[in-house]
Structures are given as C-alpha cells and as structure tokens.
Structure 1
Amino acid sequence: MEPRSRRASRQKKSDNNGIGKIAAVIVVSTLLIGLAIFFAINQEDKGAKNASEETKKETTPSTTEPTKPSSSEPQIELTEIQMLVNKEHGLDEDYVPPDLIVPKIKFVYQTAEIKQMQRVAAESLEKMFEAAKQDGLPLAGVSGYRSYKTQKILYNNYVKRDGQEAADRYSAKPGHSEHMTGLTMDIAGYSGKCAASDCFHNTKEAQWLKDNAYKYGFILRYPPGKEEITGYKHESWHYRYVGEPLAKFIYEKQITLEEYYETYAKK
C-alpha cells in the first residue's frame, strides 16, 4: 500500500499540472482575443482613413482651371506686314521697305521703281496672277512701291490739276501713301485698259479680284461705301497685302483695315 505522503505529493503535482494547463489556455486565449481586437481596430482605422480620403476628394475643389471656349475671332499676330497707313498714320520720309523685288508679272508701265514690292507680297501676287490666268482673266501690274519723293511729285501734280479737295479723295500726301509700304499693287486687265480708272470696276477682272484676292493675302483697300472710314473714294484696282489670315477675316466681315484695327485688333 502506497504511503499517504506519496499519494498527496502526486495529487498535488497533478493539481499543479491542471492549473498550468488552464493558465496556458487562458494566456493563449487572451493573445488570440488581443490579436483579433488589434486587427479589427486596424481594419476600422483603414476604413475610416479611406472614407476620409474619399470625402476629401469629393469636397476639395479642383485646382484645374476649366477649359475656356475658343474665341471665334482669329488670333492674328500683327507685324509690319499689317501696318496701318492712312491720312492719320504715316511713314517717315526716309522709310524704305525691306527686301524689295520685282514680281514676275506683266506691267502696264515700265518705270523701275513702281514695279517693286516686298518679297512676301510679290510672291503672293505672282500666285494670284497665275490663278487669274488659269481662270481666263490674265492681269497686269500698274503701280507698286513709290518712294516719298515720287509720291510728293504725284500728289502735287494732282493738286495743281484738280485742286486739293478733289486730290485728297484719291491721292495720298507724301508719307501717307500705302504704296510707300511696298505692300500694295494697283492692278489692271492684261491689256492695260482702264488702268487705275473708275471704268475698271465694271470689268470681269475687277470682279475676279474682289472674289478671290483674299485667298492670296490681299484686300480691296478702298471698297465702295467706305470713304468716310478710309478717307478715299472707291478704287477697284488698289490691292494691299496683309497676309492670308487677316485678308480672309476682312473679306468675310466685309470691313476695312481701319475697322479691323478699331474693333478687333489687340490693344
């Protein structure tokens, strides 16, 4: 028979093992519960953060500027090619246009100076004359560049012949003529008939120029009904190079260069 003391010792040891197992279970359970709580809190924090970011996206105004509607008016860069020369705006007496050349066209008159134009205008004039020829309406140049000195002689002669009031309706004072820019050409039919005369208005060539010149960068500078604006009576033969974008705009709006500067040009 086992002694009482030994049985008591074994019983105590067994009890201790049971208590240890229970304690271990409690510790493991506590750890598992703690981890579960940790992950739950962490997940909740993430959800709250994401919700906050979504709310911020919805409530924070965009810093991107809205697209502005494009203007219906062309953005035309004004250079010396588009210069305004009239009774109010003139050129210095010693002004000489850059890059003057003689366009390869027929001329009514053979004076060397008045055959010249600025290269950019001369090359476009050649294309326009070729297009008119292809349409069965060959053209001829009458008068292009004029120096201050040449314009002074012409103006003074007109004043002597017709008086200043009449001359001022069709001839510019020296320094105020578009011909001095080297961007203008008076144009006639190939025969030269009605050159720089009112009768040119009724010709097929005049009508062709009125309908097509803008395609090559030229405008009818002194149209009918605009004398109070331009300062000059209608001249169906006087064409001024301003570049294709501006020429097209002026043609479509049926306005003058003065009206363009007054209403549309950037201030």
Structure 2
Amino acid sequence: MGFRSPVYLAGAFLLLAIGFSIYFNVAVRVDASAAKFRFESLMSNGAEARAAKHGIRALTLLRKEGNTLEELAPFMLDVADAQTARRRYEHAASLYREALGTKSAKALTARERLGYEDKLARAALWSDDIETSVAIYASFLELAGDDAARGGGDDNAKAISALYAETVGSAADLFTAALNHAHPYQPTSGNRETQLAAANNMASLGAFFAMRDDGEYASAGLLSSAFFIRSKLQGIEHQDTVQLTLMLGPVYAKMGRLDDAEKLYLKAFHAQEQIKGANSPDLSLYIRLLSGIYEQQGRLTEAQALQEHMRNLFRDAFGAQRYAINRERDRREDMNRPVSQNFLLDAEYAPTDLISASEYSVPTAKSPNIDEMKLRLAADPDADPREANLPVRLAQLISLCRSESGERLSLRSGYRSYNTQHGLYQRIGSLGTVTPPGMSEHQTGLAADINVSGRFMRQSDRSYQCFEENAYRFGFILSYPPANDYLPGEDSYEPWHWRYVGVSTAQLYREAGPHHKPQEFLAALPCYQERAANGVFPNVGEEDICLSKKPTITALATENDAAQPGAELSVEDDKSARILNKLPAAQSPR
C-alpha cells in the first residue's frame, strides 16, 4: 500500500491537471472573463500574437453578454494591438477605427490618441487602405502647424505639435514600401470627391517628405499618385494638377529620373501656355525648369533655344531696354545686397523707412502696431512712391494669390531688429525656423514671411504656386530655395520666406540669374546688370562669367574699416563679408 500511494497520487494529480486543462480550455471558449484573463496574461508576457485569438473571443463573448461599445472600447484597443502583432492588419484597423469613434475615446490624452491613430494609419497602410492612412497623416500635418516646417525634433519633444510632425516623419519608410514610385497608386473605389480628397492628402504628405533628406522615394510615390488622380479627374490643364508638377519634378530630378521630370514640365508648360497665352512671361517659370532638365540631359541646343524664347517674351512684355547698369558702389544700404552667413549685417543696422504694412492693405497675422508687422517702404526713386513700393506690391501679390488659391494669406513676420532676432534665436533657433542674428533678411525690413491659414506657407499650398509664378512681377524672390546652404543647419529651405529686391532685379533674376542661387546672384548683381544692359546673357552650358569671376561688392571704407577705399569684397570670402559690415572676426555670430 505504501508503494502504491505515490503512484496513486501522481495519477490523481495528472487526472486533475487534465481535468483543469479541459475545464480551462472550455472556459476560455465560453466564459468571457476567462478569455479576457487569458488574453491579458499573454499580453503581459509579451506574447501579443498568441493573445490575439483570446482577445477576439473575449470581445465576442462580452458583446453577447450585453456589454456596450462604449464599455468595450478600451479593451478593443488592446485587442487591436494584438491583431497588429498577429499581422491581421485589416481587422486591427477596423477595431482601432471603431474604438476611436466612441465617446469613451475622448478620455484619452492627446498623446494617447495620437499613438492609436498612428497605429490605425499604419494598419490601414499595411492592409492597402491607402486613403485612410494618408487622411490620418495629412490631418497630423495640419495639427503640427509650424512644426511641420521644422520637422519636429528632440528639442521640442514636449510640444504635441512637434510630436505630430515627428510621427508623420517616421512613416516615410512605410510609404516607400507601400507605394511604388515608378507606378502610381490608382484608387479602385470611391467617388470623385473621395479620390480628389485622397490626392490632396497625398500632395500634402509628398511635399512634407520632399523636404526631408531621406524622403524622396516616399515623396515620389505620394506625389506621382496624386498627379495620376488629378490628371484623370481634373485634367492636366487644371491648376491643381500643374501645381503637382512643381513639386514632383524636382523630386524626379533628385532621383535621377530626368526623362520623367522632362515629361512633367512639358505637360505643365503646354497647360499653362493654353491658359495664359503663348506670349505670357508667366511661362518663364516652366521654361527655366524645362531648360534646366535639358541642360542636365546634355541637350544644350534645346536648352538654349528655350532660354532665347524666354528672353523674347521678356523683351516683348517689359521692353527692349528693360535693364540698366547700377553703378552704386556702396551696397551696405542697398536693398539688393545679399544677406547670409557669409554676408552679415551689422548689429547697428536698421532701415530708416519702416512703415506699418497694414497702412498699405497688407493683411497681418499679428497686431499691426508691433515692429514685426512693419516693412521698408523701399519706394522706387523714379516713380510715385505711394504706388511703387514694397508694401503696395506685397498687398497686390497677396491679393492676386488669395484670389487664385482661395486660401487665407497674411504677413506673419516682417522687420526684426538685431536684438529681436537675437532673442528669437535664443528661444527657438534650434527648431530651424529662426536664423542667428546678423544673417537674417528680416533685419533689412525687406523680407516677408507668409502665413497660409495661420501657419507657415508650404510647397503644397495653392498660393505657393501662385507666388512661384508671379512674385517676380512684384519684385519678390524666394530667398532660401531647396538645397541652399545660406544659413546654418542641414536644410534651410523656407517656402514661406520672400525677399523684396525690386521689380527690375527680380525680373533679371528670373531671366538670367543662376537657378536657385539668389544670394550668389545678388552678390554678383552689378555684373549681371551690366551684361544684361548690353544684351549679353549667359549661354547654356557655358561658364557663367558673373560667378566664375568671384563677383564682388565694393564697400566704402570708414575710419574703423580694416579695408582701404575701393577694396574688393569676395562673395566667397568670410573675412571680406565681415569687412563689408564693419564686424571684427570675434563678433561674427554662428
């Protein structure tokens, strides 16, 4: 009997274990509490994929027991996480969507909701629901506001707006994998309005990724898909479709897809030609872009022919003698002087003709009485100063682009003193949208940051296309184009920052200036003016003499200057830039 007792006990224990196992497995199939307990145990042990089936079973049983959707919403979010781990993305997306649509989801903090919506967007993307994913991430961009321009960043991690931008940025690889940049996505369902809404969201996201060093493939997939949808539904001649060529073309060029960029620019050129007329100088933007592609392809004869065509358009529109030689030698006070980390402004520099922009009907984003809402008058010396000046022309440009785009535009920032710039840079300079003091064009009173619907203008805004096409007519140029190195930081592209240089100079830059090199152009402006006044323009494929000769600016010497009267100051020489501004080396801000 004593020998058989351990065997007996072992057998009894085995029977009990088998019985408990049978009971447990039956319980988790028919008892909601048991199924939920099993789900939570597996989740806490990191076995999300195994937990998923128990979570689904628990939800089914809880619903049968009469639990409402509001009561189940928190649990549904956990089950959706498990379904994602199990790669049941479509079901996971359905659970996220259903739970986030309940009233109880309003109890989530902004960060918690952002996290779950990001999970929904990813699950939707993985299940080929592109429209839902791009709608969520595009809404994140709007919620990010100005931080969409800054791209988020650790220095601003506490701000929910920065977190929205960072979340979108982290999705670049997902869109690269989901969208084949060589074969645009084609929606198979949804009405016209739904598909156009998806195209708008893709355009916003594509423009955002285009500004990132690692985002060209995600950008190409999104923008090419948006272009396909708009072309099919609106036609190539529609301005929204043309707008996409201005965003997608540079991305294709960056990727080396020059043939595709050429096709885009040709379509845009012919579309605009039909709308604006074959003799409109507004075609100059598209001519410059197409000519640049031809030059990269080695098709110099065709590129030169386009340049000649553009000059004929300018001659007919603005007159044969449209340029004069500027023999003014001291450019420290000149509105055409360059301003960058190589051409610094003296801390004491301040314009003497500042006026309130609102007095000239410029819509302002802040109180019109503060200095930041002031601009230089910068009146033309040979015209009525009440009609031919900076604020009047900015008001006209904003009015035109507001009418064409339907967007709400306003002046976000005009003049900033050296001290104001210093304070801003100390506070938010690390975010990338404020330059160090001394190298900001805002100190000149000639720069205007433009708001669209209360945040920085973006490349995806309709008004940006209008500015690109028309700003030169009103004397403005884009100061910080893509891939510039004028300011500290990895990328100082600022689609919202427009600089007044005067109508004649802006026209010359469009017609003969080096593409996307405004600071180099301004530094060498006397050379370009002299050659243009004599009818000599740079030929495609040949060395640009104005740049190759190290364009110079002559500054008048003073008692404190280290230079002698008439000293030549090179645009590439940081020392000479300090001399231009009467700054010793130790004062040069970095």
Scaled to the shorter chain, the TM-score interval is: 0.5 to 0.7
Does 2:449 align with 1:186? yes
Does 2:363 align with 1:106? yes
Does 2:477 align with 1:223? no
Structure 1 segment 151-190 matched on structure 2, within 5 A: 151-159=421-429, 162=430, 170-189=433-452
Equivalent position to 1:235, from 468, 477, 494: 494
Match of 1:145 in 2: 415
**Per-residue CA shift, 1:120-173, capped at 9, x if unaligned?**
3212211212222343545211000001111001111135xx3xxxx5x54322
Structure number with higher relative contact order (C-alpha < 8 Å, ≥ 6 residues apart)? 1
Q: How many residues align?
A: 184
Indicate the RMSD between aligned Cα atoms, in angstroms.
Answer: 2.6
Letter in 2 for 1:108: A
Query: Is residue 250–residue 256 contact of structure 1 (8 Å, CA) maintained in 2?
Result: no
Equivalent position to 1:125, from 394, 406, 409: 394
2:526 alignment partner, SS class: coil
Give the gaps of 5 or more residues in structure 1: 1-70
CA distance in 2 between partners of 1:147 and 1:202 (Å) = 31
Query: Is residue 486–residue 492 contact of structure 2 (8 Å, CA) maintained in 1?
Result: no
2:324 alignment partner, SS class: coil
CA distance in 1 between partners of 2:324 and 2:422 (Å) = 37
- The structure in which a higher percent of residues are strand is 1
Query: Is residue 145–residue 181 contact of structure 1 (8 Å, CA) maintained in 2?
Result: yes
Structure 1 segment 51-90 matched on structure 2, within 5 A: 74-77=323-326, 80-90=334-344
Structure 2 length-normalised TM: 0.29
CA distance in 1 between partners of 2:402 and 2:485 (Å) = 34
Runs of 4+ in structure 1 deviating by more than 6 angstroms, as ranges, are: none
Letter in 1 for 2:460: N
**Per-residue CA shift, 1:55-107, capped at 9, x if unaligned?**
xxxxxxxxxxxxxxxx9994352661101111111222122112111122222
CA distance in 2 between partners of 1:185 and 1:228 (Å) = 20
Structure 1 length-normalised TM: 0.61
Query: Is residue 362–residue 411 contact of structure 2 (8 Å, CA) maintained in 1?
Result: yes
Residue 203 (structure 1) shift:
0.7
Does 2:520 align with 1:251? no
Match of 1:212 in 2: 470
**Per-residue CA shift, 1:227-266, capped at 9, x if unaligned?**
2356552110000000111112222342422221455533
Does 2:391 align with 1:135? no
Give the gaps of 5 or more residues in structure 2: 1-319, 379-389, 528-551, 553-590
Query: Is residue 398–residue 409 contact of structure 2 (8 Å, CA) maintained in 1?
Result: yes
Compared CA separation, residues 85 and 263, structure 1 to 2 (3 A): closer
Larger Cα-atom Rg: 1
